[in-house]
Amino acid sequence: MSTKTIAVVRDLLATNKQAAAAIRQELRSRGILCVNLLSSPGSGKTTLLESLAGRFEGRYRMAVIEGDIETERDAERIRAKGIPAWQITTGGACHLEAKMVGKVLGEVPAAIDLLFIENVGNLVCPASYDLGEEVRCVLLSSPEGDDKPAKYPQAFLSADCLILTKSDLLPYLPFDPAKAAAEALAIKPGLRVFTVSALRDEGMDALAAYFVEALARLRSACA
């Protein structure tokens, strides 16, 4: 009996990266903009999507993939707005992986402009998993505190866009949007920052326009 040491150098996330690349390619060829929403639980991802559904109605066709540990609740809220939605229940897993999204993708109708993926509420693990999206948004709500970017740098580092949510609560909380934005920009220069209240419909025009611009860019690049 003898032992031998072999060099392997295998990326543990390689399988996920391959699945994500296949999703990205498929969605680009279908001209669909995919947006991955990351945040802590309760920071307003579903409410943001409900607000966007109203805003895009009659102009852009939207679909949503919901990720949660349990229940269909979020998908039901989105369907109530007349938007097709698929619920992935991970049964305990703390993040969505590309292969979970890949399984649902075949059911997404061809005539869609924007596909939003609402990740499992968690500001840590989802950051490591590419889902094949074009745009990654991190949401940070005012009750969570403006000190979060430096505490969870990976999520902000991997994002294209920061959405500061629940701005209607700012008068009651010691949350400084400028501080939160500056902290996030120190980690990821070039991050686009939006401050919104989905509930009060404030700041949503600029955010919706950002997604529409990204969709136009994707279609002109893939045309």
Rounded distance between C-alpha atoms, residue 133 and residue 41, angstroms: 20
Q: Which of 22, 69, 104, 125: binder of other proteins (CB under 8 A)?
A: 125
Residues whose CB is less than 8 angstroms from the CB of residue 220 and which lie 6 or more positions away in sequence, other chains included: none
Site stretch for other proteins (CB under 8 A), options 34-42, 81-89, 91-99, 140-148: 91-99
Only one residue has tokens 């939160």, namely 180
Number of residues located near other proteins, criterion CB under 8 A? 31
Q: Which of 48, 78, 117, 187: binder of other proteins (CB under 8 A)?
A: 187
φ/ψ (deg, to 5) at 139: -100, 140
Does the footprint of other proteins cover residue 4 (CB under 8 A)? yes
Site stretch for other proteins (CB under 8 A), options 19-27, 122-130, 131-139, 174-182: 122-130
* Contact yes or no for 53/115 (Cβ under 8 A): no
Choice between 125 and 169, CB closer to other proteins: 125
Element (H, E) at 38: strand 33-38
Q: Which of 21, 80, 94, 209: binder of other proteins (CB under 8 A)?
A: 94
Does the footprint of other proteins cover residue 15 (CB under 8 A)? yes
Does the footprint of other proteins cover residue 212 (CB under 8 A)? no
Rounded distance between C-alpha atoms, residue 112 and residue 117, angstroms: 14
Looking at residue 190, what DSSP letter applies? T
The SS3 call for residue 48 is helix
Does the footprint of other proteins cover residue 182 (CB under 8 A)? no
Q: Of 108, 105, 136, which is closest to residue 214 (Cα–Cα)?
A: 136
Q: Which of 33, 35, 37, 127: binder of other proteins (CB under 8 A)?
A: 127
User: Rounded to the nearest whole angstrom, what is the least distance from the CB of residue 5 to other proteins in the complex?
Assistant: 5
Structure tokens at 127: 């950051």
Q: In degrees, to the nearest 5, what angle opens at C-alpha 190 toward C-alphas 173 and 146?
A: 15
User: Rounded to the nearest whole angstrom, what is the least distance from the CB of residue 208 to other proteins in the complex?
Assistant: 28
Choice between 142 and 158, CB closer to other proteins: 158
38-77 residues in contact with other proteins (CB under 8 A) are: none
User: Rounded to the nearest whole angstrom, what is the least distance from the CB of residue 67 to other proteins in the complex?
Assistant: 13
Distance of CA 62 to the CA centre of its chain: 14
Q: Which residues bind other proteins (CB under 8 A)?
A: 1-13, 15, 93-95, 124-125, 127-128, 149-150, 153-154, 157, 185-189
